[in-house]
Copies of this chain bind each other. A is one copy, B any other.
Amino acid sequence: MSTNGKTSNGNGNGNAHGANCLSGVRIVDLSQFEAGPSCTESLAWLGAEVVKIEPPGKGEQSRRAFARPTNADSWYFLQFNANKKSVTLDLKSDEGMELVKKLIAEADVFIENMAPGTIERLGLGYDTVRELNPKIIYAQVKGFGEGTPYSGYLSFDPIAQAFGGIMSVSGESGSRPVKPGPGLGDTGTGMLLAISILGALYQAKGTGKGQRIQVAMEDACKHYIRLAWAFTAGNNEACGRYGPKALGGRTAPQGVFKCKGGGSNDYVYIMCHAAVGNHWDRLLDVIGRGELHGDPRYDTPKARYENEKEVNAIVEAWTSQHDKYDVMKAVGDAGVPCSAVRDTLEMYEDADLVRRGIMQVADHPEHGEIKMVGWPVRHDGHTPQLKPAPLLGQHNDDVLGGWLGMSVGDLASLRGKGVI
């Protein structure tokens, strides 16, 4: 495969190679868009065989969603379906349904994230699937929690972030809530589901026990704001919005500071931690304001917080004269927590990320060379090797042949009838 060739000859991805933690695990994946696909993609990166079941002809909807500059599969689809296999099956035909049931009988995990009630109408509800395969781990993503008045409502990432409380703690103080860029309702949910599926797989390996696993996107969002919950539990008030500061942050300086250039991301983040180290004094030396050492207006976190505007002005008077990476180097070298605010284009063009195997380059049959973030965790020093998202039906022969023993003739017949 060309991807492997590219890697082994050292053209990028220097640090990536195959991971096989989950080698032998078979997953039948009926999920779409992001919450389900981000979950199964993480399992695929760890070596599971994830088979995406898609309608013949058009495929999963997100092949045509967002960021699709050509008629090729969308960039969005590529992000969330790497390292998977694609099998087409017309689930509205009797033969298609029969085949998916046969695949389910051979699988360890089944997953779906359709709109409320859809999987049951399709005829693949839990009771049916468990009967086909009592050892199956049956995993589902819901939008709103089952058993709530809202369980029949549609959900998408921003809806989950609103109802799950994330938006209430994101944005400028005194202004309207914003939706954070990260897909907490989607990928955030997918990661929690992956953890629970892996727990169930671990248990099943010893016991053969199947189980049903469900998570609601709104509930997953609550998991990611537990610092906010700590404040509410402690003072019985809603946690507020703190702009660029950490939730509750009653210290200074902490936040973003303008740098030279004036672009929308020409900022550094600087935080003098209230509890850890003598960051403020170190910072004064870096910015050439050593005469302020010991000044009672700024000498404690409390004093600096009370004089936050002045403190921030002192810091920004210096940062605004320098490039953000120069600031990061000077302040970071001095042992003060600091970072440039980086945008996605800067990172996309950062060769260091490819060298470390965090971004990887691969050949896609339609797009040519693609570059994307893979699984960012290293196993024995290596991130898992990226394989590009499959073309529609790319693995029909592989999976229907390999799992079910279908012959070339069987497959040709299915193709003729439009079942695959």
Contacts and interface: CB of A to CB of B under 8 A. Distances in A.
A358 B219 contact: yes
Nearest to A138: B380
B184 A224 contact: yes
A242 to B, nearest CB: 7
* This protein's copies in its complex: 2
A354 interface: no
A30 to B, nearest CB: 17
Contacts of A271: 156, 158-159
Interface string A267-305: 111010101110000000000000000000000000000
Interface residues of A, number: 155
Contacts of A328: 150
Contact of A167 (B61, B227, B269): B269
A31 interface: no
A237 interface: yes
A65 interface: yes
A175 B355 CA distance: 33
A52 interface: no
B373 A68 contact: no
A174 B263 CA distance: 10
B21 A244 contact: no
A195 to B, nearest CB: 5
Given A80-B226, A215-B376, A223-B373, A165 B344 contact: yes
A46 interface: yes
A337 to B, nearest CB: 5
B377 A181 contact: no
Interface string A147-187: 11110011111111011111111111011111111111001
Interface stretch (A5-13, A91-99, A196-204, A391-399): A196-204
